[in-house]
Amino acid sequence: MWYFNSVGTKNKEELFKKAFDLLNLGKTNEALSVYDVILEEFKDDEDAFINKALVFLQTQKFQDCLDLLSKIKEDSERGFDKILIEASCLHKLNRVEEAEKKYQTISKILPVNKNAILQIGSTCLEQSYFRVAIDIFNKLQEIDSKFEKNYFIGIAYKGLGELTNSIRSLGKALRANPEMYSLYPLIASTCFQNNMLIEGDKLMAILKEKHEPFFQNVAGPTSHYRQAPQEKKD
């Protein structure tokens, strides 16, 4: 275990670097000990709380992570990071409703930053928080993210079973990037699921004309949805 008689402000940055280096070496327990030393002298150091919480998250000590984060206020400087990590922990603990509420809070305070929106929105998609994902992706600006915004919103609507909305959003994404050939069978299959057979057939015909080799690869799986159309969900 690492031990220091006195941390002192001058040594704090060195200790953070020491913890970082230990983590890179896979020495998580030693790194946690360094954060403990920092917190002994700087009891409210939010950077130490967040870094230690991330170690708990990575080592799947989810309840320990939540307990530690409870010491940080949501309106503090690192409040956003606190809520984001809490959402991940709650999801891992299968406390789905609590996790969704955390993501809803995040969607309201998330800054308009494309990389952050894509990263956090994609996490919500992966974890099946589709309604929250829509709120987050709606923060993307059409002027420079028309494809990404409508594509991910379309996927979220499909996850919710709102097929008409999904087709509408995916269609906008396709118009933004008509050479994204994988979208044709995706939208077509969604049309078939929504009993929009003519529209689905038209999309597959366009794909055949644009890229017949790819069409041949996807025509069979896509036609499965046409043969067994589902009841409309919206």
Q: Calculate the average pLDDT of the chain.
A: 92
Q: How many CA atoms lie within 13 A of 86 on its CB side?
A: 26
In angstroms, rounded to a whole number, what is the distance separating the alpha carbons of residues 221 and 216?
10
Residue 129 CB-density burial (10 A; 0-12 exposed, 13-18 middle, 19+ buried)? buried
The answer, as to whether pTM is greater than 0.95, is no
The pLDDT of residue 11:
85
For 19, residues 6+ apart whose C-beta sits below 8 A from its C-beta are: 31, 34, 35, 51
Percent of the residues in the chain that have a pLDDT greater than 70, as a whole number? 93
Domain coordinates in residue numbering, the chain: 181-234
Tens digits of per-residue pLDDT, 12-68? 899 999 999 999 999 999 999 999 999 999 999 999 999 999 999 999 999 999 999
Q: How far apart are CA 9 and CA 199, in angstroms?
A: 66
Of residues 234 and 74, more confidently modeled: 74
